[in-house]
C-alpha cells in the first residue's frame, strides 16, 4: 500500500488533489446510495457489538479491581486508602508481572506489530491487526483494574476499532468507508464505556477522523448511540461525575480567560512528555523487567498517595465537589502526570482520556485556590471542573467533543457552559499554536503528523 508520505507532489510542493471516489466508494449520505445497505448494516453491527464489548470489559475491570482491592461498594481510592503497605506493593508488582508477561506473550502469538488506532485510520485505511490489538485491550483492562495509572477507555476504543475493521472486511467496504467506520467504532467504544453517546460520536469525528463533515455525522451518531444503548442494558445509565449546578459569575469567567492559556501551555508539555515516554518503551528482554520496576515504584508511592492509582476518576470526583485540600491538589499535580508517564514508559497499555482529565482537574484546583485569594466567592470544585475540560480539550485538540463530553459526564448542560467554552477555547488555541500533536498522535513521527495535516486539509473534488 502506498503511504501518503510517498505521494507525488505538485509544483507548489503539496500533494495532488485526491481523485474523485467512485460512487460505491464514497460515504453513503442517503439510502439511495449504491453501497448504502452494506455500509449502514456495518454501522449498526459495529455499534451493537462494540456496546457488548464495552460492557463486558467494564465488568471485567470491576471484577479485577474488586479482587485486587477488596472493598464492597467502594471505589479504588477508598479501598487503597484502607489497604496496608504490603498490598500496595504486591498488587502493583503483580500488575508489573502481568504487563511484562502479557507483552512477551503478545509478541509470541502475533507477528504483526501493534498499530495505534489513529495511525491505522490515517495511514493504513483503518486496517488493524486484530489479535494483537484485542490482546492489548484485554491486558490494559487487567492492569488498570490492578491500579496502573492509565485510563480504562483505551480497551473499548480498541475493540470498537477492531470490530469496525472486521465488519468492513465482511461488507467489502471501500478504504474511505473503512476509515470512517473504524473511527466510529473507536468513538462508540468511548460512548459505551462512559455512557456519553453524543460525546463519543463527536470524539470519533473531531479527534479520530479529524473532520466534522456532514457526511460523517450520521454514521458516528448511529454507531455511538447503538453502542451506548446496548451497554446500558448491563451498565448503569448515570453520570460519571456527580456535581452541583454551579453558577456562572464574572469572577469565574475572568479566571477562565487567564487559566485557559495556562492550561494550554501545561498541555503542550504534557503531550510532549507522553510522546517521549511512548517512544522510550522498552524492547527485548526489558519488556519483562521494566514494568516490574516501574509499577513497584508506583505501588510504593501509592502507600502515601493512593490517589495516583487507577485512571483518576475517584480523586477527580472529589476535586469537582471541592473535597481535595490545596496541598494535596498541588502534590497530585506533580505526582499524577509522573505516574502516567511511568506507566507509559514501562510499556503498560491503557488510555489517556480520564488520566488527562484528572491532571486538568488538579491544575484547575490549584489555580482556583490561588485565584480565590484575590477574588473569593467561587466554589473550588468549579475551578477543578473547568481545568479538567481545558486540559482535556488542549491535549486531544478536540474542543467541541470535550465540551459535550464534560456536559454528558456530569449530567449538567448549562450551569457552567460559558466559562467552560472560554477555558476550552483559549487552552486549545494556545496548544495548537505551539504543538500540532495531540495525545492521540503520540506514536506518529513529525513527518506523519505533517502528512496527516495535509490529508485532513486537502479539499475534495
Using one digit for the tens of pLDDT, what is the confidence trace for 377-396? Answer: 999 999 999 999 999 999 99
208 assigned to some structural domain:
yes
Handedness of CA 307, 310, 311, 314 (dihedral sign): negative
Contacts of 213 (CB under 8 A, 6+ apart): 205
Q: What is the pLDDT of residue 459?
A: 55
Q: What is the pLDDT of residue 3?
A: 39
For residue 228, count CB atoms less than 10 angstroms from its CB and return exposed for 0-12, middle for 13-18, buried for 19 or more. buried
Q: What is the pLDDT of residue 318?
A: 97
351 forms bridges with which residues in the sheet? 151
143 grid coordinates: 492492569
Per-residue pLDDT reduced to its tens digit, 178-217: 999 999 999 999 999 999 999 999 999 998 888 888 889 9
Q: What is the pLDDT of residue 114?
A: 63
Q: Where are the alpha helices (DSSP H) in 305-352?
A: 313-320, 326-346
CATH number at residue 327: 1.10.3080.10
Q: 152 is in which domain, residue-wise?
A: 38-231
Rounded CA separation 391/239 (Å): 20
pLDDT at 106 over 80: yes
Rounded CA separation 270/207 (Å): 17
Same domain, 327 and 213: no
Per-residue pLDDT reduced to its tens digit, 320-348: 999 999 999 999 999 999 999 999 999 99
Same domain, 216 and 273: no
Same domain, 138 and 255: no
CB under 8 Å, gap of 24 or more: what pairs does 198-204 form? Answer: 198/224, 198/404, 198/408, 199/401, 199/404, 199/405, 199/407, 199/408, 199/409, 200/224, 200/227, 200/228, 201/225, 202/398, 202/400, 202/401, 202/404, 202/405, 203/396, 203/398, 203/401, 203/405
Same domain, 269 and 415: yes
- For the chain, the domain total comes to 2
Which of the residue ranges 7-11, 178-182, 263-267 would you say has the lowest mean pLDDT? 7-11
Which of the residue ranges 27-36, 96-105, 163-172, 404-413 would you say has the lowest mean pLDDT? 27-36
Per-residue pLDDT reduced to its tens digit, 75-84: 899 999 999 9
420 assigned to some structural domain:
yes
pLDDT at 9 over 90: no
Last residue of a domain, one of 231, 261, 276: 231
Last residue of a domain, one of 197, 231, 265: 231
Same domain, 67 and 191: yes
Per-residue pLDDT reduced to its tens digit, 120-155: 888 888 898 999 999 999 999 999 999 999 999 999
Per-residue pLDDT reduced to its tens digit, 393-412: 999 999 999 999 999 999 99
Q: What is the pLDDT of residue 19?
A: 44
Same domain, 224 and 264: no
Rounded CA separation 340/311 (Å): 9
Q: What is the pLDDT of residue 112?
A: 55
Which of the residue ranges 6-10, 93-97, 301-305, 427-431 would you say has the lowest mean pLDDT? 6-10
pLDDT at 432 over 80: yes
Same domain, 209 and 349: no
pLDDT at 73 over 70: no
Last residue of a domain, one of 231, 263, 287: 231
Q: What is the pLDDT of residue 12?
A: 36
**Secondary structure class of 151 (helix, strand, coil):** strand
Q: What is the pLDDT of residue 30?
A: 83
Per-residue pLDDT reduced to its tens digit, 287-318: 899 999 999 999 999 999 999 999 999 999 99
452 assigned to some structural domain:
yes
More confident residue, 140 or 442: 140
When pLDDT is cut at 50, 70 and 90, the band that residue 35 belongs to is confident
Same domain, 154 and 268: no
18 forms bridges with which residues in the sheet? 460
Same domain, 259 and 192: no
32 assigned to some structural domain:
no
Handedness of CA 102, 105, 107, 109 (dihedral sign): negative
pLDDT, mean of residues 102-109: 86
What are phi and psi for residue 135, nearest 5 degrees? -65, -40
When pLDDT is cut at 50, 70 and 90, the band that residue 113 belongs to is low
216 assigned to some structural domain:
yes
6 assigned to some structural domain:
no
When pLDDT is cut at 50, 70 and 90, the band that residue 11 belongs to is very low
Q: How far is residue 31 from each of residues 34, 38, 39, 216, measured CA to CA in Å?
A: 8, 11, 10, 14
Strands (E), 319-416: none
* Mean of the per-residue pLDDT values of the chain: 90
258 assigned to some structural domain:
yes
pLDDT, mean of residues 223-229: 97
Same domain, 223 and 259: no
Rounded CA separation 318/150 (Å): 18
When pLDDT is cut at 50, 70 and 90, the band that residue 23 belongs to is low
8 A C-beta contact, residue 375 and residue 169: no
pTM: 0.91
pLDDT at 283 over 90: no
**Secondary structure class of 45 (helix, strand, coil):** helix
Same domain, 193 and 264: no
437 assigned to some structural domain:
yes
Same domain, 263 and 307: yes
Amino acid at each position: 500500500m502506498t503511504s501518503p508520505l510517498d505521494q507525488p507532489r505538485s509544483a507548489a510542493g503539496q500533494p495532488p488533489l485526491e481523485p474523485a471516489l467512485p460512487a460505491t466508494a464514497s460515504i453513503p449520505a442517503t439510502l439511495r446510495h449504491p453501497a448504502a445497505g452494506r455500509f449502514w448494516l456495518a454501522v449498526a453491527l459495529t455499534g451493537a457489538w462494540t456496546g457488548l464489548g464495552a460492557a463486558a470489559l467494564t465488568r471485567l475491570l470491576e471484577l479485577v479491581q474488586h479482587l485486587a482491592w477488596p472493598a464492597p461498594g467502594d471505589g479504588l481510592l477508598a479501598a487503597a486508602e484502607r489497604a496496608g503497605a504490603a498490598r500496595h506493593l504486591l498488587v502493583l508488582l503483580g500488575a508489573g508481572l502481568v504487563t511484562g508477561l502479557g507483552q512477551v506473550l503478545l509478541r509470541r502469538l502475533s507477528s504483526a506489530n501493534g498499530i495505534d488506532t489513529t495511525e491505522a485510520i490515517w495511514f493504513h485505511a483503518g486496517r488493524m491487526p486484530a489479535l494483537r490489538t484485542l490482546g492489548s485491550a484485554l491486558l490494559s483492562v487487567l492492569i488498570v483494574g490492578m491500579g496502573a495509572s492509565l485510563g480504562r477507555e483505551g480497551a473499548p476504543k480498541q475493540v470498537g476499532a477492531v470490530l469496525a475493521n472486521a465488519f468492513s472486511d465482511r461488507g467489502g467496504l471501500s478504504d474511505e468507508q473503512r476509515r470512517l467506520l473504524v473511527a466510529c467504532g473507536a468513538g462508540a467504544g468511548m460512548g459505551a464505556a462512559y455512557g456519553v453517546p453524543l460525546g463519543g460520536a463527536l470524539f470519533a469525528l473531531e479527534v479520530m477522523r479529524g473532520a466534522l463533515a456532514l457526511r460523517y455525522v450520521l454514521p458516528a451518531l448511529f454507531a455511538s448511540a447503538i453502542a451506548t444503548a446496548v451497554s446500558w442494558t448491563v451498565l448503569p445509565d448515570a453520570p460519571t461525575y456527580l456535581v452541583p449546578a454551579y453558577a456562572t459569575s464574572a469572577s469565574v469567567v475572568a479566571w477562565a480567560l487567564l487559566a485557559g492559556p495556562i492550561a494550554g501551555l501545561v498541555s503542550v508539555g504534557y503531550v510532549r512528555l507522553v510522546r517521549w515516554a511512548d517512544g522510550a518503551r522498552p524492547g527485548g528482554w526489558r519488556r519483562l523487567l521494566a514494568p516490574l520496576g516501574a509499577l513497584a515504584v508506583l505501588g510504593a508511592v501509592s502507600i502515601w498517595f493512593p490517589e495516583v492509582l487507577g485512571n483518576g476518576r475517584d480523586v477527580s470526583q472529589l476535586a469537582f465537589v471541592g473535597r481535595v485540600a490545596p496541598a494535596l491538589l498541588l502534590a497530585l499535580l506533580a505526582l499524577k502526570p509522573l505516574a502516567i508517564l511511568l506507566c507509559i514508559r514501562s510499556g503498560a497499555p491503557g488510555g489517556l482520556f480520564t488520566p488527562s482529565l484528572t491532571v486538568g482537574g488538579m491544575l484547575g484546583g490549584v489555580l482556583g485556590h490561588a485565584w480565590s485569594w484575590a477574588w473569593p466567592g467561587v466554589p473550588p470544585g468549579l475551578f477543578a471542573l473547568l481545568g479538567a475540560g481545558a486540559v482535556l480539550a488542549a491535549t486531544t485538540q478536540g474542543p467541541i467533543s470535550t465540551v459535550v463530553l464534560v456536559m454528558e459526564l456530569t449530567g449538567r448542560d448549562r450551569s457552567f457552559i460559558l466559562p467552560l467554552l472560554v477555558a476550552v477555547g483559549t487552552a486549545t488555541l494556545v496548544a495548537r499554536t505551539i504543538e500540532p500533536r495531540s495525545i492521540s498522535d503520540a506514536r506518529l513521527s513529525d513527518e506523519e503528523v505533517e502528512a496527516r495535516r495535509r490529508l485532513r486539509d486537502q479539499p475534495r473534488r
